Structure 1
Amino acid sequence: MEPTEFATFQKDASLGLVKLVKTAKTLSSGDIAFNKSLDAEFSTVLDNTNTKVLGLINDLVRNATDGSDIKFENFEDADSVETRWSVISEVVDFLLEKADMCMDEYTGTVKRGIMQTTAAQSNYKSARTEKRAAEGRKAFNKSLHMAKPQLQFKKPLSPLDSGPHKPRLEKKPHAIKPLEDSLVPTIVDGREKYPHPYLEEISQYKFPDRVRKEAEPIQYKPFESTSAIFVDSSELLQEMVQELLKAEEIAVDLEHHDFRSYIGLVCLMQISTRNQDWIIDTLKLRDELEVLNEVFANPNIVKVFHGAFMDIIWLQRDLNVYVVGLFDTYDAARSLGFTGHSLAFLLKKYINFDADKSYQLADWRVRPLPQEMLDYARSDTHFLLYIYDNMRNELIGKNNAAEEDKIETVQNNSKETCLKTYDAEPYDSVNGSGSRGWLSILKHNAVNFTDEQFAVFKAVHAWRDRVAREEDDNPHFVMSKNHLLNFARQMPVDAAAALSVSNNPLLRSKLADLVSTIKEAKANPVPFSSVQHLLVTAGKYWSPQPKDAKKEGEEGLSIMPMLGAGDAGAKTEESQFWAGTFGGSRWEVKDLVTGVNDISLALPLPDLTATVLEGPDSCETQPPIRRADYIKDRGVKPETADIVVIKKLGGGRKRKLEDVAEDAQHDDDESDADTDSPSSQVGASAGVISGDVDKEDELETVQLSKLDKRAARKAERKRKKAEAKRRSAQGDDFQEDGGDDDEKKGEFQAFDYASAPSIINAKKESESKAFDGSKKYDGGPKGMRARRREKEGKSSTMRA
């Protein structure tokens, strides 16, 4: 492909990939399984497509792994793609690495150039950022199933040993206190523990006087024009020790591996002086490196580390080496108040060197080590002494008699780091404590197990730790955290179900034991509520607080306020606003957290009085009354059986309070004047409901008896009007007939058929007149408002 055609190809490929992803998402959003069950043809087409896609995936992965150490076996089905997704990830990493190599070749940066190292502020290109050679890529992608180096150790540390770690020193160079007196065990927190063998020497240590004197930084030698000596034999080791004893300062760093080891192991040590770099094969010389105590325990030699906290422990555990006279550049960076404290930050600040951590997580057990990895390791210490010189001068320059001695601060912090000791951490199956306990997983993952799931979680976690110790592997290699949680959620009780959760080769070899463990745990559930209080205490606003009301030896938990009130004494036993009106402001959380009681309102409120809205004069003369007491002591209005009409059928009108009062007064007058009238009778019968209520209460609520009285009066007025109309009509007939009422009273009048309308041929009104829902029929409520039909043409809005 021509370079000019690549841009077009890239654009078309990107567009096609976007369309493919969109189509795949659209298909996956539908109920494919349901459609397969309905349509046999669709099911057949889908199965054929799946087979074709799976074949394409196998072909692509197989072709991509050509030229690599990745061993690939075809995916059997879609589920195997998901369970073996780590293979896809490894292949993608290899392809990206290959693409990086091709880009370097294309741009011409694959050849190493000569770096100018004469000036301190030259912009260096690290050897680690250059192209990795073929052997480097092989080491980076090395299979994790290589032979374990710890099997060849003469004195290996057993992961099954949970007892105290005893230093294996055979002699103690530069001792102030003899070795025999330094290894007397003591009891600490109920466990036997051996003291630091150089405790006395480190406690009395002080930096040499030259450290407190400002001096010109000594320029390091060019990285490219120098090389490191790889120490892998006893002869080279002795030669290196003799050279180190001549130095005043040395820079030290370690490379560690812990993914295929339960305890971990130091794989490499880098040591640099002003003139030479050494790289020591600590796997091969592990049992011989105690001789380094001649240098590392020498108080006249300053040992410069960066972030030595774990390095100190690893040296003790694996190599039986102890450090006296540490200068930690990490502590110096903190004392100087730098914005960054990492080694990469210091390299950029003092050398303008861009550190590359590409090999930081590489498998350092690989032998032989490729040159790129050796360069990576050497650069960590090659520049460190020059950084030490600059930081020492800055610490001296910032010393002030009125303030702390920064050199002294770095010395004290470095001494504390040196006094750290290694101790084997026992597994706590009950409480799950420790860095590898099950409690740390629950604290960092939002899970809500049932009792059975929690029992399975604890059992599988303990099984994982036991297998990891037996196999001397990292627990995460035996079973990842996600697989552990999935085992707890799904609780598989057969081999097929367990393999669907994790297809780890190590698990397959111990599958029967794992399934048996799950079955036993599932049959013996453990209450998940028993640990919820431990999870709550890990939260941001919870802390253990002793309660006076608790029995001796018990502890309660209380919530720290979220509004910044750090004083726990600000909590009240009851609300100062509501007091005990609603049973207090305290609430129980027994259902939420077992053992957590007495959670109180953490925000105190001022007392509110019942006379807060009165004038200032009345407030001065009357003592303040708490609102809670006012509510508690206030008289309760007697309940009545009055019925309040919310809305009357057919609508009604709003009436003011004055009209209601006038109607009530008018009702009383009418009832006194005419007790025999129907309105009075209705009012009397309805008034029984209201009872003896005060006039003020009658004006506050419109009662049913009043409504009935008004309705009765209205009906009475209509009746009187109808009666008057009837009488007036009778009076007119009497006048036309000459008043002969007695003759008309009993006379029979015949029906006039001639003038009567036809019934048979009568035109039905319903045939000519359609029903109108907007009109009122049979005395019922009015219907909906008639809707005006839209005419053709422009609407009313548009015409306007």
Structure 2
Amino acid sequence: MQLSKWVRTRQELQSLAAALAGARIIGLDSEADSLHSFPEKVCLVQLADEAGAVFFVDPLSVRDLSPLASIIADPAVVKVFHGASYDVSSMKRDFGFEFGGLFDTMIAAQFLGLPELGLAALLERCFGIPLRPSRQKDDWARRPLTQAQEAYAAEDVQHLIPLCERLLAELRARGRDRWVQEECEALAGIPAADRVFDPEGYLRVKGAKALDRRGLAALRELFIAREAWAQEAGRPPFKILGNEAMVGIAGEKPRRPQDLRRIPGCSPKVIQRYGEGIIAAIARADSIPAAELPTVPRPKKPRVPPAVQRRIEALGRWRARKAEGLGLDPGLLLPRRLIEQLAEQDPLDRQALARIEGLRRWRIETFGSEILEVLGGKDGMRGLTHTSRSSGDRKQDSKE
């Protein structure tokens, strides 16, 4: 394997951008420090060209990656990722990139109905290449990278172009290349990653529902305090105080820092750094009047009208049959959220189908007629067809 070239200065980055300007296709990946820093950041961007050369762009040395922006946005230059969602949203956040010409080999594998979607499994299947063990848990902000890290980062990107070409050929043979293209276009449009702290997030912590109301108040105070401590320390919240420890503290409600020793997850280091703050959080919870203590909300399940439920079930049966015939995961062919939208909106024609958010052109072009037939057939409407359904029928749907 040839050595990867590091790009650490503005001049080197401009030279790389110039070299890639006429490229037809590039492989692209990134590594971040989400398990080690807070807030997280992209620490390495790997690029591979058609000749197999790999470049490591170091955002810790040259933070402004704008010389690459036009290439990343150019739809004529294919950017091959594997599992692009996290990379795309993170690079949008950190570098302001917009993406065009994106191709995700994981999405391609999904639409080929392959049983294993990981990069290692695909490289083994297509080329017999064993990939090195994952290093995703490494701290990619540390410099210098080890030889093992560099080898892993290079292998993550250097096979993406031939993998793309192999999978694309298989997709074309099955007539599914346009399906993947549209899904990749949608993926390129996802927003930049934006972590916004939700003070109500404590309600989603495992074990919260088992606490009494005073314990729930203590968990809320700890949850909010932990976020502040994480921001101050620049470390992920779970490394400040784990969720299990927070729930244990909220349940026990200790009164002194030394009482924390009996709670799993409260190490001597945690007690030394945050013991007083933890006890203060418990005291704040104790001071809340009983009438103001939080409760776990019990969401009411919306009542689904019988006609809508019939259409949901009919679409579900159609999806199961069709997905089995195509060798695809049913949720990929038609996700549950789309089934529910179709059943609720009950479109009568392709124009109405096109107004279903997220349905995609490929589904309408390939399966639109079948979907409309299912919605209007006996399974969906007790024998009523679209041609026989009147406005009165639709009013009755809404009343049921």
Q: TM-score, normalised by structure 1?
A: 0.36
- Which residue does the alignment assign to 2:196? 426
Q: CA deviation at 1:321?
A: 1.8
Contact 1:451–1:526 (Cα < 8 Å) also in 2: no
**Counterpart-to-counterpart distance in 2, 1:467 and 1:251:** 38
- Do the aligned partners of 2:89 and 2:192 also contact (CA within 8 Å) in 1? yes
Is 1:467 equivalent to 2:236 in the alignment?
A: no
- Pick from 408, 413, 418: which aligns with 2:183? 413
Q: 1:493 to 1:260 in 2, by over 3 A?
A: same
SS at 1:530's partner residue? Answer: coil
* Aligned with residue 531 of structure 1, among 296, 299, 312: 296
Determine the C-alpha separation between the residues in 1 that align with 2:219 and 2:238. 15
Aligned to 1:544: 302
> Which residue does 2:247 correspond to in 1?
485
Alignment partner, residue 323 of structure 2: none
Among 281, 286, 307, which residue is 1:517 paired with?
281
**Structure 1 residue aligned with 2:132:** 356
Deviations 1:159-190 (A, max 9, x none): xxxxxxxxxxxxxxxxxxxxxxxxxxxxxxxx
Deviations along 1:86-126, one digit per CA (max 9) or x if unpaired, are xxxxxxxxxxxxxxxxxxxxxxxxxxxxxxxxxxxxxxxxx
Following the alignment from structure 1 to structure 2, what is the Cα–Cα distance between the partners of residues 446 and 464?
16
**Partner-residue secondary structure (3-state), 2:5:** strand
Match of 1:279 in 2: 56
Q: CA deviation at 1:327?
A: 0.9
Q: Which has the higher contact order (CA 8 A, sep 6+)?
A: 2
Alignment match, 1:452: 214
- Distance in 1 (CA, whole Å) between partners of 2:198 and 2:172 is 47
- SS of the equivalent of 1:533 reads coil
AA matched with 2:302: P
Q: Deviations over 1:678-720 (max 9, x none)?
A: xxxxxxxxxxxxxxxxxxxxxxxxxxxxxxxxxxxxxxxxxxx
1:347 paired with 2:130, answer: no
Counterparts of 1:431-446 in structure 2 under 5 Å?
432=200, 437-442=201-206, 445=207
Q: CA deviation at 1:448?
A: 1.7
Residue of structure 2 in register with 1:267 after alignment: 43
Structure 2 matches for 1:206-285, cutoff 5 A? 224=1, 226-275=2-51, 276-285=53-62
In 2, Cα distance between equivalents of 1:267 and 1:456:
36
Residue 291 of structure 1 aligns to a residue in which SS? helix
Match of 1:180 in 2: none
How far 1:528 sits from its partner (Å)?
8.0
Describe how 1:243-392 pairs up with structure 2 within 5 A: 243-275=19-51, 276-286=53-63, 288-392=64-168
Q: How many Å apart are 1:421 and its aligned residue? A: 0.9
Q: Deviations over 1:420-447 (max 9, x none)?
A: 1125343333xx2xxxx112213xx485
1:133 maps to none
AA aligned to 2:45 is M
Q: Is the 8 A contact 2:47 2:56 kept in 1?
A: yes
Contact kept? 1:453, 1:522, Cα under 8 Å: no
CA–CA distance in structure 2, aligned partners of residues 425 and 259 of structure 1: 14
Alpha-carbon shift at residue 507 of structure 1 (Å): 5.2
Per-residue deviation, residues 104-150 of structure 1 (Å, max 9, x unmatched): xxxxxxxxxxxxxxxxxxxxxxxxxxxxxxxxxxxxxxxxxxxxxxx
Whole-Å separation in 1 of the counterparts to 2:193 and 2:108 = 28
Contact 2:35–2:137, Cα closer than 8 Å, also in 1: no
Query: Between Structure 1 and Structure 2, how many residues are aligned?
Result: 302
Of 499, 505, 529 in structure 1, the residue corresponding to residue 269 of structure 2 is 505
Q: Quick one: distance in 2 between partners of 1:545 and 1:504?
A: 51
Distance across 1 between alignment mates of 2:203 and 2:182? 34
**Aligned letter for 1:347?**
L
Letter in 2 for 1:491: K
CA contact (8 A) 2:36 2:139 kept: no
Mapped partners of 1:319, 1:249: distance in 2: 21
SS where residue 304 of structure 1 aligns? strand
Q: Are the equivalent residues in 2 in contact too, given 1:304–1:329 (CA < 8 A)?
A: yes
Superposed, 1:543-562 pairs within 5 Å as 543-545=301-303
**SS of the residue 2:302 aligns to:** strand
Q: In 2, are the aligned partners of 1:316 and 1:322 still within 8 Å (CA)?
A: yes
Whether contact under 8 Å (1:454, 1:526) holds in the other structure is: no
Q: Distance in 2 between matches of 1:255 and 1:428?
A: 26
Change (3 A) 1:472 1:545: farther
- Aligned to 1:330, the other structure's residue is in SS state helix
Matched AA of 2:277? D
Q: 1:354 to 1:504 in 2, by over 3 A?
A: farther
Q: Aligned pair in 2 of structure 1 residues 507, 259: CA closer, same or farther (>3 Å)? A: farther
Report the 3-state secondary structure (helix = DSSP H, G, I; strand = E; otherwise coil) of the residue aligned with 2:205.
helix
> 2:376 maps to which residue?
none
* Residue correspondence of structure 1 range 75-90 to structure 2 within 5 A: none
**8 Å CA contact 1:270, 1:277 repeated in 2:** yes
Higher helix share: 2
Does the aligned pair in 2 maintain the 1:491–1:522 contact within 8 Å?
Answer: no
Distance apart, 1:532 and its partner CA:
5.4
Tell me the residue number matched to 2:327.
Answer: none
Amino acid of the structure 2 residue aligned with 1:518: I
Q: Which structure 2 residue ranges, 5 or more long, are not aligned?
A: 306-400
Change (3 A) 1:486 1:526: farther
Structure 1, unmatched stretches of 5+, are 1-223, 400-405, 538-542, 548-800
Q: Is the 8 A contact 1:498 1:515 kept in 2?
A: no
Distance in 2 between residues matched to 1:544 and 1:496, nearest whole Å: 48
Query: Is the contact between residue 90 and residue 193 of structure 2 (CA under 8 Å) also seen in structure 1?
Result: no
CA positional deviation for 1:252:
0.3
- Letter matched to residue 364 of structure 1: W
Q: Distance in 1 between matches of 2:129 and 2:173?
A: 25
Taking structure 1 as reference, are residues 425 and 374 closer, same or farther at Cα in structure 2, changes over 3 Å only?
closer
**Deviation of residue 509 (structure 1)?**
3.2
Task: Identify if the C-alpha distance between structure 1 residues 504 and 527 changes in structure 2 by more than 3 Å, giving closer, same or farther.
Answer: farther
Change (3 A) 1:487 1:468: same
**Aligned residues: CA RMSD:** 2.4
Question: 1:294-319 CA distances to partner (integer Å, 9 max, x unpaired)?
Answer: 21011211111111111111101112
**CA displacement 1:583-621 (0-9 Å, x = unmatched):** xxxxxxxxxxxxxxxxxxxxxxxxxxxxxxxxxxxxxxx
Kept in 1, the 8 Å contact 2:202–2:208? The answer is no
Asked if structure 2 preserves the Cα contact closer than 8 Å seen for 1:306 and 1:330, the reply is yes
Deviation string, structure 1 residues 25-50 (Cα, Å, up to 9, x no partner): xxxxxxxxxxxxxxxxxxxxxxxxxx
Change (3 A) 1:513 1:528: closer
Per the normalisation by structure 2, the TM-score is: 0.70
Tell me the secondary structure at the aligned position of residue 545 of structure 1.
Answer: coil
Inter-partner Cα distance in structure 2 for 1:304 and 1:517: 48
Whole-Å Cα distance in 1 between the matches of residues 14 and 258 of structure 2? 57
- SS of structure 1 residue aligned to 2:42: strand
Distance in 1, Cα, partners of 2:62 & 2:140? 15
The answer on whether the counterparts of 1:326 and 1:418 sit within 8 Å (CA) in structure 2 is yes
Q: Distance in 2 between matches of 1:238 and 1:507?
A: 49
C-alpha separation in 1, matches of 2:37 and 2:268: 17
C-alpha distance in 1, partners of 2:286/2:75? 59
